[in-house]
A = this chain, B = another copy of it.
Amino acid sequence: MEENLSISIANELRKDILRGRLRPGDAIKERDFAFKMGVSRTPMREAIRLLGNEGLIELRPSRSPIVANQSKQMVADQIRLLVVLENLSAELACKNATEDDLGRIAGIAETMAAQFDSTDAIDMFEIDMSFHLAVVKASHNASLVETYRTYLQRLWRARFLAASLDPNRKRLIREHRAIVDALLKRDPEAVKNAIQNHLGNLFRDVSNALDREAEERKTLTSVGENK
């Protein structure tokens, strides 16, 4: 897609949100952000609306938009859907994946295994997410890819917090390899089982991470000034 100013602004804001430089609850003041980026309100407004549609920003009447701050119920709902989308992609990828697709997926898994200790946590998490997205792309169902991407982004931060809480590298690499092996065999049941094994406790892990973060925020608030 051809990139205009609003799309490049949206890309930059999205990256800031996913990478944690903009945190849940932070205000995105249209005029301020436009001025800082040296653009007018129009493309900034359009970018904010785009991210609003993607669920990353929450628009509020008569108040500045904020980085979306999702309830545990919303996170649970999205994870429930994400798992179903990954299962569907497993089934379809077994049928439709090209040899290039499978090669790419296996390559990403190898890259993670090889570089885990020498890559910072944020970059490694991005590779992890690109692995999952590559599996979905191997389904060759464009709607599935589009919808999956939406929830991948919405859940990004929560999953990153969960991954940071329990960075079990051996388990991660083993479970990704199980998914790759099952895909290479083009065995849908085996892929689904491997995915279930990999994501089965995702909500619990994410929930724990969000609880932990809420505790930390409460501690900071009680010693700091009340805003």
A143 and B74 form a contact (CB under 8 A): yes
Number of interface residues of A (CB under 8 A): 23
Query: Is A50 on the interface with B (CB-CB < 8 A)?
Result: yes
- A98 at the binding interface (Cβ < 8 Å): no
Task: Tell me, yes or no, whether A30 is within 8 Å of chain B by CB.
Answer: no
In Å, the complex CA distance between A80 and B95 comes to 14
- Given contact pairs A49-B49, A80-B143, a sample of 20 additional A-B residue pairs in the complex whose CB atoms are under 8 Å apart: A2-B61, A46-B46, A46-B49, A53-B53, A73-B142, A74-B143, A77-B141, A77-B142, A78-B143, A80-B88, A80-B141, A80-B144, A81-B88, A81-B141, A81-B143, A81-B147, A84-B84, A84-B88, A143-B151, A147-B150
Q: Mark A126-157, 1 if CB is under 8 A from B, else 0.
A: 00000000000000011110010011000000
CA distance A175 to B85 in the complex (A): 26
Q: Which of A62-105 contact B (CB under 8 A)?
A: 73-74, 77-78, 80-81, 84-85, 88, 92
